[in-house]
């Protein structure tokens, strides 16, 4: 193996290690993000695979101009928008749920928390995509500045969308309660 081949192999090994680390570190959040952009079972996994592939292709170009997390979520957002443009929304499957873990030993509370989490995910999926994006990224603990950078909008617009998202969610959850 020549010196050039060794350098390329070392570079590829470094890239693979970085890729593995970011997927371990941000995989659950990226999975939740993918689920918020999709409407039927099976789609979140497909979108997550596309996001992972897009991240793999983009990682060599990461220059550190933003945080690693912002870089990854921007890629995920762009890939999700492309995914949605290629596939028109379908109906939501009844088995589409978010698995929430409750560390408390009380199974009744765990079931209640899981049901409430599923209701929230269902309500977020009913929001227009611009509002679902903002609420999902905010629930991932991102600041207004990070959300603005990922979505390519102003921080003021993030705040406005977040306020509207919350109001829409309240209405959706209230109407859900009334139907029960």
pLDDT above 70 (res 134): yes
Stronger pLDDT, 39 or 145, i.e. the higher one = 145
Range with lowest mean pLDDT among 53-67, 108-122, 145-159: 108-122
Q: What is the pLDDT of residue 166?
A: 92
User: What pTM value is reported for the model?
Assistant: 0.63
Q: Provide the pLDDT for residue 163.
A: 94
How many angstroms separate the CA atoms of 162 and 140, rounded? 13
Q: Is 114 helix (H, G, I), strand (E, B) or coil?
A: helix
CA 144/CA 11 separation, integer angstroms:
35
Ramachandran region of residue 97, left (φ > 0), alpha (ψ -120 to 50) or beta? Answer: beta
Q: In the structure encoding, which two tokens stand for residue 2, read together?
A: 């020549």
pLDDT, position 117 = 76
CB 129 within 8 A of CB 84: yes
Residue 38 has pLDDT above 70, yes or no: yes
Among 63-72, 84-93, 104-113, the range scoring the smallest mean pLDDT is 84-93
DSSP characters over 116-176? HHHHHHHHHHHS-HHHHHHHHHHHTT--HHHHHHHHTS-HHHHHHHHHHHHHHHHHHHHHH
Which position has the token pair 């991240």? 55
Share of the chain above pLDDT 90, in %: 42
| Region 14-37 average pLDDT | 91
| Ordered domains of the chain (ranges, CATH) | 1-96 (1.10.1740.10), 100-180 (1.10.10.10)
Residue 145 confidence (pLDDT): 93
- What mean pLDDT value characterizes the chain? 82
């Amino acid at each position: 193996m020549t010196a050039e081949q060794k350098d390329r192999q070392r570079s590829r090994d470094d890239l693979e290690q970085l890729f593995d680390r970011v997927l371990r570190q941000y995989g659950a959040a990226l999975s939740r993000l993918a689920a918020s952009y999709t409407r039927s079972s099976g789609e979140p996994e497909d979108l997550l695979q596309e996001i992972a592939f897009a991240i793999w292709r983009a990682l060599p170009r990461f220059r550190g101009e933003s945080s690693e997390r912002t870089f990854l979520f921007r890629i995920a957002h762009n890939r999700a928008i492309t995914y949605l443009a290629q596939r028109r929304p379908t109906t939501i499957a009844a088995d589409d749920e978010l698995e929430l873990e409750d560390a408390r030993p009380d199974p009744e509370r765990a079931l209640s928390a899981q049901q409430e989490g599923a209701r929230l995910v269902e309500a977020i999926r009913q929001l227009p995509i611009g509002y679902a994006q903002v609420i999902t990224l905010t629930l991932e603990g991102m600041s207004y500045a990070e959300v603005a950078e990922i979505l390519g909008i102003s921080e003021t617009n993030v705040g406005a969308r977040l306020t509207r998202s919350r109001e829409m969610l309240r209405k959706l959850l209230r109407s859900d309660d009334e139907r029960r």
